[in-house]
Amino acid sequence: MAPVPRPASRSPAAPVAAAAPVATRVGALDAARGLVMVLMTIDHASGAFNAGRVASDSVRSYVPGTALDPAQFFTRWVAHLCAPTFLFLAGLSLSLSAERRRVRGEPDGKQDRFLITRGIFIAACDPLWMSWAFGLRGKVLLQVLYAIGGSFVAMAALRRLPRAWLGALALLTILGHEAVGGLAVKLGGGTPSPPVALLLTGGMAGRFIVAYPLLPWLAVMALGYAVGGLVHGASARRLSARALGAGLVAIAVFVGVRGFNGYGNGWLYRDDGSLVQWLHVAKYPPSLSYCALELGLMALVIALLLRVPGLARGPLLLLGQTALFFYLLHVHLLEGAAHALGLYRREGIGATLVATALAVAVLTPLCAVYRRYKASHPDGWTRYV
């Protein structure tokens, strides 16, 4: 008769096994980030190849009553998920990283210096690298990297706040920046001054076209950091339930604000009760209805990825773990290919989807090489990308 195996004794390795849900959780977050990288590529491929592209997600770019082609609208709309996910998960990842560094005994000052230097590097990538890819003449475009980088710099100080206070401040900013921005523009004579454009409303700031004003996007990152306190030590199942609950609450907020069709819509109101008009929310700057909808959808996606861990693998995981590297290359590839082939904004949605698939296929192996290099050089320049 075979001997009965003895129960495994407790050892220093036991806490590692207990912490196993953390790896699943991080994989789900990376996969969510990878998914939005693909959705973002669709939008930028549309900007390069699609003659009928619709980009009317601001009160400044939409004339009420204008008909919106559903196919073109949804080709653009799917990318709305990207920026809120980038900023929120950046804050959440920062929270998790700060906790790991604290456990290792890394001084706060060292973390702050890295946050500030990395934030400056990321923000500088917009004017110095990304802006010229869009072919602007004499203008500099400040987009999501400006918002992410500037938010990192600010978080070096804001992360000192208690998480509950930081979360409340973030929610208050998401709720109230429309009123503050509107008041600032009114006091300025109807046109946002450069500081107001850079911080609150977007618009022109000298030679700079500000697409992503800092404060509302900083609020999204700060909210992610605050939520990080609920993530530490939680199992994947519990976190999935929390993400599902938060997602449903956020969607309910969206339905209420969009249904009321007043404050919180960034002055981009529904023309009627159609699905397109319900989803035609203001991204520039991000309205309350936009933030509630997209953060709610993001939470539901994360809940699914946590509930079905098999989805958080493969190319989506890879792209999520190399998101900035992918981002810094994909626009140049798409815009360069469109010009080289003589197809710049001359095709349609079909060409957009083909270009997206080809761009992802070309860049995925490069991302895999970069991930291996980064893993073998953890203290080098790859920390910034």
Going by C-beta distance under 8 Å and a sequence separation of 6 or more, which residues neighbour residue 67?
Answer: none
Portion of the chain with pLDDT greater than 70, in percent? 94
pLDDT on residue 5 = 40
pLDDT on residue 138 = 82
Which band of pLDDT confidence, cut at 50, 70 and 90, is reported for residue 25? Answer: very low
Q: Is the pLDDT of residue 20 over 50?
A: no
pLDDT on residue 23 = 39
Gyration radius (Cα) of the chain, Å? 22
pLDDT on residue 335 = 97
Q: Is the pLDDT of residue 296 over 50?
A: yes
Average pLDDT over residues 8-37: 60
Task: Tell me the pTM.
Answer: 0.92
Integer Cα distance of 83 and 88 in angstroms: 8
Q: Is the pLDDT of residue 244 over 50?
A: yes
Q: Is the pLDDT of residue 149 over 70?
A: yes
Sheet holding 208-210, edge to edge: 140-142, 208-210, 203-205
pLDDT on residue 218 = 98
Average pLDDT over residues 138-151: 95
Average pLDDT over residues 283-302: 98
Phi, psi (degrees; rounded to nearest 5) at 54: -110, 125
Burial track 182-210 (b if 16+ CB lie within 10 A, e otherwise): eebbeeeeeebbeebbbbbbbbebeebbb
Please state the domain extents for the chain. 84-309
**Helices then strands, each counted (H, E), the chain:** 15, 3
**In the 3-class helix/strand/coil scheme, how is 294-363 assigned residue by residue?**
HHHHHHHHHHHHHHCHHHCCCHHHHHHHCHHHHHHHHHHHHHHHHHHCCCCCCECHHHHHHHHHHHHHHH
Average pLDDT over residues 213-231: 96
Q: Is the pLDDT of residue 8 over 90?
A: no
Average pLDDT over residues 203-226: 96
pLDDT on residue 10 = 37
Q: Which amino acid is at 105?
A: G
Integer Cα distance of 322 and 285 in angstroms: 27
Q: Is the pLDDT of residue 362 over 80?
A: yes
**2: exposed, middle or buried (C-beta count within 10 Å: 0-12, 13-18, 19+)?**
exposed
Which band of pLDDT confidence, cut at 50, 70 and 90, is reported for residue 4? Answer: very low
pLDDT on residue 170 = 98
* Residue 160 structure tokens: 């000192």
Average pLDDT over residues 150-164: 96
pLDDT on residue 233 = 80
- Tens-digit pLDDT profile for residues 104-144: 888 989 999 999 999 999 999 999 999 989 877 789 999 99
Cβ pair 371, 321 in contact under 8 A: yes
Tokens 């992503």 belong to: 212
pLDDT on residue 232 = 80
Average pLDDT over residues 267-294: 97
